[in-house]
Amino acid sequence: MPNLIQQVALVSESKNIDLPEVTLVAAALDKQATRDFAPIWEVNSSIHAFASLEDVPLGYWPMIIKDDIGFQGAAGIHLDKDGQPFALITSGDGWSLTASHETMEMLADPFGNRTIAGPSIKPGQGRVSYLVEVSDPSESAEFSYSVNDIVVSDFYTSAYFDPVKASGVRYSFTGAITEPRQVLKGGYLSWQEPVSGHWFQASFFGAKLDFRDLGPIDASKGSLRSQIDAMTMDLSLKVLKPKKAALTAAAKRGARGSDSSKARAESLKGQIASLVKAAKPATVNS
């Protein structure tokens, strides 16, 4: 039986992000999800742009871009009153990177509670349960790549939780992650240690990898991901300073791509006009 297709809606409620821009990013995310993500994670999806939240059909998971969601970046993926996922994204530089990050994580684990077992990266711990957040360990713009000249997020592969490193294995799509359970600069990884029942996190927001004991997490207060993301956001905003070099370069690539698209569109319009003119019957003068 074929996998169900997960439908994702990208919508702007921002004064700064118009529908044409949303459409371009949605097309890039759809290509990323179909070409890059689906063969690795076996999740079929379709990502579409909509003019307003009211236009989104039932059954779509909304990704909503706003000018103010309380802090920069993303508010993570939440569940609505019917238990269906949605995400909030801040407009501004690099919003496509954030949208890509949230889209890939929504597709891999829409309800925010999926875990995969593996050896702990913290010395002294044994086998633990890692929370599946496919873009977190390599979430920095430094490790992003582009689709249709739109900057998108790297994500780890299903081999990321393998017990040992093996030659020839891809651990993230871009290859930035080079071994199992590696956390890159600007990223983090979270897991539960079964003996204590506590959640732990390895974060690389400073000069080195740091470990934190997050304590127990009460499932009645929301998904594991939403609670851990809330704990992590405060720390990352305090430590990390935005690096806009990669985003600026991507914006320049996007501008060049837009010029190419405009030129192709003008050429196609001219060709269509010629075909229409040729198809019309000749006017007969009486």
pLDDT digits (tens, 9 = 90+) for 86-105: 888 999 888 999 999 999 99
Determine the pLDDT at residue 25.
97
Determine the pLDDT at residue 239.
43
Q: What is the pLDDT of residues 215-257, one digit of tens each?
A: 999 888 888 998 898 888 766 544 444 444 444 444 544 555 5
Determine the pLDDT at residue 286.
46
Residue 66 in tokens: 């706003």
Determine the pLDDT at residue 243.
46
Per DSSP bridges, beta strands 61-66 and 85-90 are parallel
Which residues of the chain register pLDDT less than 50? 1-2, 237-250, 252-253, 284, 286
Determine the pLDDT at residue 143.
97
Determine the pLDDT at residue 285.
53
How many whole angstroms separate alpha carbon 32 and alpha carbon 85?
20
Residue 227 in tokens: 């609670």
Tell me if the pTM is above 0.85.
no
Determine the pLDDT at residue 248.
47
